[in-house]
Amino acid sequence: MNINIIAVGRVKEKYILNGIAEFKKRLTPHAKINIIEVSDEAAPENLSNSEMEMVKAKEGEKILKKIKDQDYVITLEIKGKNLSSEDFAKKIENIQLNGKSTIDFVIGGSLGLSEEVMKRSNFALSFSDMTFPHQLMRLILIEQIYRAFRIINNFPYHK
């Protein structure tokens, strides 16, 4: 299984990078993990709604260029579906059983995802009604992917 985490912006915090590297290493027997970063657009605090949409559209174009037609795309969205860790594991397992070899998880920038990216999504996932920094979300996501593979393979980690 190939898993791409496509994310807007760079992670600079060493503790987050170390955590991501640890879970990426732990996932090696289960999946090939690629972290694909696309550059974020400048988004000052006082943007109008149309300016915000333009920023999301530009970031969205960069994201869509990284997604292949045959990939299964899961976008992280506040209004997405909440899943338990067990249900998340079942989701990944079902994607594999349905013949998809690549899952693209997409994390937007500080303003979220463009309409075009959300339309391309096969499944919208929400981790919480809360908002998390998109850099930290990468660590949370990769840990949950690791947990899912542990559940799928009946290994003790999950509890």
In a domain, residue 158? The reply is: no
Taking residues 54-83, what's their average pLDDT? 97
Distance (Å, whole) CA 110 – CA 4: 20
In a domain, residue 159? The reply is: no
Binding residues for S-adenosyl-L-methionine: 76, 108, 127-132
Q: For 106-159, what is each residue's pLDDT tens digit?
A: 999 989 999 999 999 999 999 998 888 888 999 999 999 999 999 999 997 655
Report the number of distinct structural domains present in the chain: 1
- pLDDT at residue 45, as a whole number: 84
Q: Report the first-to-last Cα separation within the chain, whole angstroms.
A: 24
- pLDDT at residue 46, as a whole number: 87
- pLDDT at residue 61, as a whole number: 98
**Eight-class DSSP state of 105:** E
In a domain, residue 28? The reply is: yes
Per-residue pLDDT band for 59 (boundaries 50, 70, 90) equals: very high
Distance (Å, whole) CA 25 – CA 85: 20
In a domain, residue 157? The reply is: no
* Residue 123: CATH number of its domain: 3.40.1280.10
- pLDDT at residue 117, as a whole number: 98
Residue 104 has pLDDT above 80, yes or no: yes
What range defines the domain where residue 60 resides? 2-152
**Eight-class DSSP state of 12:** -
The pTM assigned to this predicted structure is 0.94
Binding residues: 76, 108, 127-132
- pLDDT at residue 159, as a whole number: 57
CA distances 146 to 82, 92, 150, Å, are 18, 11, 6
Q: Is the distance from CB of 36 to CB of 66 less than 8 angstroms?
A: yes
